[in-house]
Amino acid sequence: MLAEAFKFPEINAILRWQDIFTSFNKIALIAVAAAVIGIVVFLLAGNKDAKVAPKGVRNLAETTVEFIEDGIVMQTMGKSGLGWTPFLLSLFIFIYLCNVPGIIPLLQMPATARMAIPMFLALLVWVVYNGVGLKHQGVKYITNTIWPPGVPVALKPLVGVIEFISNIIVRPFSLTVRLFANMLAGHILLVTFALLTQSLITAETQQLLLKPMAILPFFMLVFLTAFEVLVAFLQAYIFTILTAVYIGGAAHPEH
């Protein structure tokens, strides 16, 4: 009876969304909303009086800027990397605001639990850090990437293959999959426990103990929702800090 009540929907049913209008679905809405919210917050923050102690929206914006500068740029690239703050700031805010809808009632879908956005951002980062490497090191960037300084000649073919795969292919792949898979897994877990709770509550059964047991998956659902708050922030942070590390490594290979 319970097994019949608990029917997990097809994976696409919890991931794919019907179009709100032509070629514009919930994922697109979340992506556009993330950009609009980011723009509006920074516009409002910029309009506030900068001379007085920041509060409200300006405090939020300045805290985010300082978090990116002190917590990411200075830690990975040093002072010379401060020029990358706007890009890393955009990346962090956009990813975070795409992650957070996973726990917002009614929306309940992180845009990064779909492959498109993580893949685009990872490819963009790939283009950026390779561009930075070529700009700073010229053609030597390719040899430095494939053969790090100090590699014995005999090992060069082996190390070359490993480093090429690691730096050129695995990095964008890992960036994409880390973000996408974490957010997708969180989303599926939330759906699972939500459906399990509902199935136990609405189950047509003679076993009196079954319905009160719905409290167990419900507590798990609450716990996972709180956990997803952390995951949303953490994944945005990890993606941004890895981007900073890749750009810093490309600009300053000696580090």
User: Cα–Cα distance between 68 and 244 in angstroms, integer?
Assistant: 10
Q: Does 132 bind other proteins (CB under 8 A)?
A: no
Q: Binding of other proteins at residue 221 (CB under 8 A)?
A: yes
Radius of gyration of the chain from Cα atoms? 23
What amino acid occupies position 81? G
Nearest residue (CB) to other proteins, 84 versus 141: 84
Closer Cβ to other proteins, 106 or 139, answer by number:
106
Residues 202, 204, 208, 210, CA torsion sign: negative
Q: Which is nearer to other proteins, 65 or 142 (CB)?
A: 65
Which among 15-23, 152-160, 226-234, 236-244 is the span making contact with other proteins, rule CB under 8 A? Answer: 15-23
CB count in 10 Å sphere of residue 174: 13
The correct pick among 3, 4, 18, 209 for binding other proteins (CB under 8 A) is: 18
Determine, following the binding rule CB under 8 A, whether residue 238 of this chain makes contact with other proteins: no
Which of residues 73, 100, 121, 175 is near other proteins by CB under 8 A?
121
* Greatest extent of the chain over all pairs of C-alpha atoms, in Å: 75
Binding of residue 116 to other proteins (CB under 8 A): yes
- Please identify which residue in 5, 60, 74, 124 interacts with other proteins, judged by CB under 8 A: 124
**Contact status: 72 vs other proteins (CB under 8 A):** no
Residues 41/61, Cβ–Cβ less than 8 Å: yes
Task: Concatenate the DSSP letters of all residues of 215-240 into one string.
Answer: HHHHHHHHHHHHHHHHHHHHHHHHHH
Q: What distance in Å separates the CA atoms of residue 103 and residue 97, rounded to the nearest whole number?
A: 11
Q: Which stretch binds other proteins (CB under 8 A): 39-47, 167-175, 204-212, 233-241?
A: 39-47
How far, in Å, CA of 96 to CA of 236, rounded?
5
Q: How far is C-alpha 65 from the geometric centre of its chain's CA atoms?
A: 18
- Collapsing DSSP to helix, strand or coil, 173 comes out as helix
135 contributes a contact to other proteins by CB under 8 A: no
128 burial type by CB count under 10 A (0-12 exposed, 13-18 middle, 19+ buried): middle
- Choose between 202 and 207: whose C-beta lies nearer to other proteins: 202
* 38 touches other proteins (CB under 8 A): yes
Residues that bind other proteins (CB under 8 A): 9-16, 18-19, 23-25, 27-28, 31-32, 34-35, 38-39, 42-43, 45-46, 50-51, 58, 61-62, 65, 85-87, 89-91, 93-94, 98, 105-106, 108, 111, 114-117, 119-121, 124, 180, 184, 191, 194-195, 197-198, 218, 221
